[in-house]
Amino acid sequence: MRRAVGVLGELLLTLGGLVLLFVVWQLFWTDVVSDRAQARTVTSLEQDFVDASRDPGSATATRIGGDAFAVVRIPRFGSDYERPLVEGTSAAELARGLGHYVGTAGPGEVGNFAIAGHRTTYGKPLAEIASLRPGDEIIVETVAGESVYAVRSHTIVRPWESEVIAPVPGDRAAKPTRAMLTLTSCHPRFSAKQRYVVHAELTRTRTREQISLVDDLPAPGTAPSSEPS
């Protein structure tokens, strides 16, 4: 009997250790791996944007599931915050960055450009979603240019209340007249019982050509370079 109890105790200790290792892997190691992978994806996308400015004909608008096609920057989350946006919201796709809800509007388009992201694990790109305030900017850069949105409101809903990503958020029957962006993430932290939802509205756009022109301007206080005569 004592031996049986001892064996059971050892098994429970082993099981507890395995559970602890899984928690560490899920909460911390996936962040490390995903952060590195997402940073590489952002670097690759930014190079694609540069290449497109030099050769507009090289850009493609076709996207399939899992394709990274945009870089999202949210200054409220830090001056160095930038995450890749991939097509789709499956578990595999959200492990690669933020995910675009297939079938919703695209960047800068009239309708609801809806994005999902993890609040914990896999790089937790929306860890600070609850810190967003009205007026905060969400900047989305693609090969075509840049779309800037301003946060308008937030709400908390149950997972099945998908009308928040309808073309007109909250009203499936309405016809959209504005370009909106919606962020969704699990709520509260470490739980999937609810969804934290942020709605933002498009305030301005820049084409790839306009971005290139600004980037080519001399820095303030410096004289423009001149060609030798």
**Which are the catalytic amino acids?**
118, 186
Facing residues of 184 across strands? 116, 197
- Residue 90: strand, helix, or coil: coil
Pairwise CA distance, residues 8 & 206, whole Å: 65
Tokens at 133, concatenated: 């305030």
CA dihedral 30, 31, 32, 35 (to 10 degrees): 120
Radius of gyration of the chain (CA): 22
Pairwise CA distance, residues 227 & 198, whole Å: 50
Nearest to 83 by CA among 91, 199, 113, 93: 93
Residue with tokens 């493609």: 60
Pairwise CA distance, residues 46 & 212, whole Å: 13
Pairwise CA distance, residues 51 & 142, whole Å: 12
Are the CB atoms for 95 and 158 separated by under 8 Å? no
Residue with tokens 């098994």: 11
Rounded to 5 degrees, φ, ψ at 187 are -150, 140
